[in-house]
Chains A and B, each alone.
Chain A
């Protein structure tokens, strides 16, 4: 149900290694809870962030939420397609709906995140 190649936060972000970088987005559960996404506020490339730092924001018809960096690093790429098509977050939260990519991530920081199985149990326990 949730991709095995991602790690997950309690705030429903995912992070995945991709060609030396780490891509970050929100989970299908988060996207479903938000409903139709209408705006994504992305960080500026070059921004240095710490694990747990508010790095982006997502707005839906119903609500606005901050997106926290699942790990520290430097933002090197953002998904500019979300500017005109924020609905990509709902359509493919783990694919076309990614938010930003980090470099210089300390893999040790990922060890305190959940794997897919643990995240599924976490979501289940909340509902």
Chain B
């Protein structure tokens, strides 16, 4: 398994390490429920160094990137990020991405660990096609990513990186920590106020330790990350969608730039016009039982869909999840059953947890 620069820190902190897409990462430290509640009430640190990062600079590189992604990078206000996906010709999702526009022709693109080899090959192949002053480079191997998430995240980070105070939700900028250049984004995967810090590997341990030294900042693992994001209905690449699903199906319709070209667009247009496709939809249970990944969803005795994410939602106190359902069943309140024990589930609305502080 590959190790992030923070591997030894995780072991020293008692992290329980698991294999996540070939990376040795902590699934939990104190316990998933503790870490979940701590993130919702104080602040937690997550090591996301396994994720992919790309530098896209120069007009030709930005254009090449634009041709491969369903978002329009030229329409992102400078200093902001936008969510989207890289698709196959048939519209299938290779990976979801966030592109931060740091300058006119200066993007910082974040992708996932699972499909990174494919994404990297695809993006970097473009480099050969454009002028020498444009660059499209995979910087994943040199970049560590630390997320600080929780209501007190900004108060903590202000002491280390004062520039964070000016960032609104989904904004990003270059900044420095102890004289070292970093990228700072006010985004995350928890629904809470927080930041994603993209830093050179060599300062990851120092930054991790500096942030953990603050009162009420604790490490959290992949387990809490999963319960937190599921309560917010954020899809997970490779689990809630992959090349067998399109952005229309994966509830990303509002992130498709229909007025420009990109790989996969023709297929999406055809699917949109047909109107006939299942959509990733939030579901909940009435008690503590949880739907689980892979459960069939039944309606009136026949299978109508499938659960792709499901867990107990610690902040809402009941089961939460995401399922692909036909469009006629998307109305909140629709009652269905899921799994071999015919667990009663109900269609609900996004987000399931509504008290998140991410926009505050």
Which A residues are within 8 Å of any B CB, using their own CB?
A: 35-36, 38-39, 41, 57, 59, 61-64, 86-87
Contact = CB atoms under 8 A, between A and B. Distances in A.
Given A59-B312, A61-B311, A64-B292, A39 B31 contact: no
Contacts of A38: 33, 288, 290, 312, 314
A41 B285 CA distance: 15
A61 B312 contact: yes
Given A59-B312, A61-B223, A62-B223, A36 B289 contact: no
B33 A36 contact: yes
B298 interface: no
Contact of B31 (A36, A41, A63): A36
Most-contacted residue by chain B among A61, A63, A64, A87 (CB, 10 A): A61
Contact of A61 (B227, B287, B289, B341): B227
Contacts, number: 39
A8 B311 CA distance: 29
A87 B290 CA distance: 16
Contacts of A61: 32-33, 223, 227, 311-312, 314
A39 B223 contact: no
A36 B32 contact: yes
Contact of B288 (A39, A62, A63): A39
B32 A39 contact: no
A62 B31 CA distance: 11
B28 interface: yes
B32 A62 contact: yes
21 contacts: A35-B28, A35-B31, A35-B223, A36-B32, A36-B33, A38-B288, A38-B290, A38-B314, A39-B290, A57-B341, A59-B312, A61-B32, A61-B223, A61-B227, A61-B314, A62-B223, A62-B311, A63-B292, A64-B290, A64-B292, A86-B288
